[in-house]
């Protein structure tokens, strides 16, 4: 993902804000008033979802208290969806703050996990989708499995 750039005027040019605005395409999984979940374009494992705040919030440290519950509830729903929708045994949930944060817009990684999947520590090998149709299929399966 491209990095966001903050111009002198304070205006933010952010790839996630562009996705939220509908200016860039993404495979949507979760669409709620304050958060949005979509597939990572460079997934650790297929079904890897990014949950972002609709409001541009640079890092977890900047997250206003009024959004805490929405971010956690969205994360929990997505963690359930990767199990129910993809047959994962569990999930890996992570938030980088500045270091290793490829886009300076708060995002939570929800990665499907299965015992023996090869993920070790914090080395995240990337496994791209074979086609846009495959990523759209994963997004649809996750949407269908989202708990109410």
Indicate the fold that domain 5-145 takes in CATH: HIT family, subunit A (3.30.428)
Instruction: Give the neighbor-by-neighbor strand order of the sheet with 49-53.
Output: 28-31, 35-39, 49-53, 107-113, 90-94
pLDDT of residue 71: 98
Phi-psi region of 87 (alpha: psi -120 to 50; beta: other; left: phi over 0): left
pLDDT of residue 99: 84
pTM for the full predicted model: 0.80
Domain definitions of the chain by residue range: 5-145
Number of residues written out for the chain = 148
Find how far residue 31's CA is from the centre of its chain.
Answer: 12
Report the distance separating Cα 87 and Cα 90, nearest Å. 9
pLDDT of residue 12: 61
Report the distance separating Cα 54 and Cα 19, nearest Å. 10
Q: What is the mean pLDDT of each successive set of 10 residues along the chain, which is 148 residues long?
A: 42 85 96 97 95 96 97 98 96 90 93 88 74 93 86
Report the distance separating Cα 78 and Cα 91, nearest Å. 9
pLDDT of residue 121: 67
């Amino acid at each position: 993902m491209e990095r966001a750039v903050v111009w002198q005027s304070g205006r933010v040019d952010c790839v996630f804000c562009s996705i939220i605005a509908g200016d860039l395409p993404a495979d949507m999984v979760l669409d709620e008033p304050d958060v949005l979940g979509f597939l990572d374009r460079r997934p650790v494992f297929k079904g890897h979802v990014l949950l972002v705040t609709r409001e541009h919030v640079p890092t977890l440290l900047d997250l206003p208290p009024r959004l805490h519950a929405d971010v956690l509830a969205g994360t929990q729903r997505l963690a359930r969806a990767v199990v129910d929708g993809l047959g994962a045994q569990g999930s890996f949930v992570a938030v980088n703050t500045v270091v290793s944060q490829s886009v300076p817009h708060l995002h939570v990684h929800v990665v499907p996990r299965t015992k023996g999947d090869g993920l070790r520590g914090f080395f995240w090998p990337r496994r791209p989708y074979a086609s846009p149709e495959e990523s759209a299929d994963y997004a649809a399966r996750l949407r269908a499995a989202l708990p109410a």
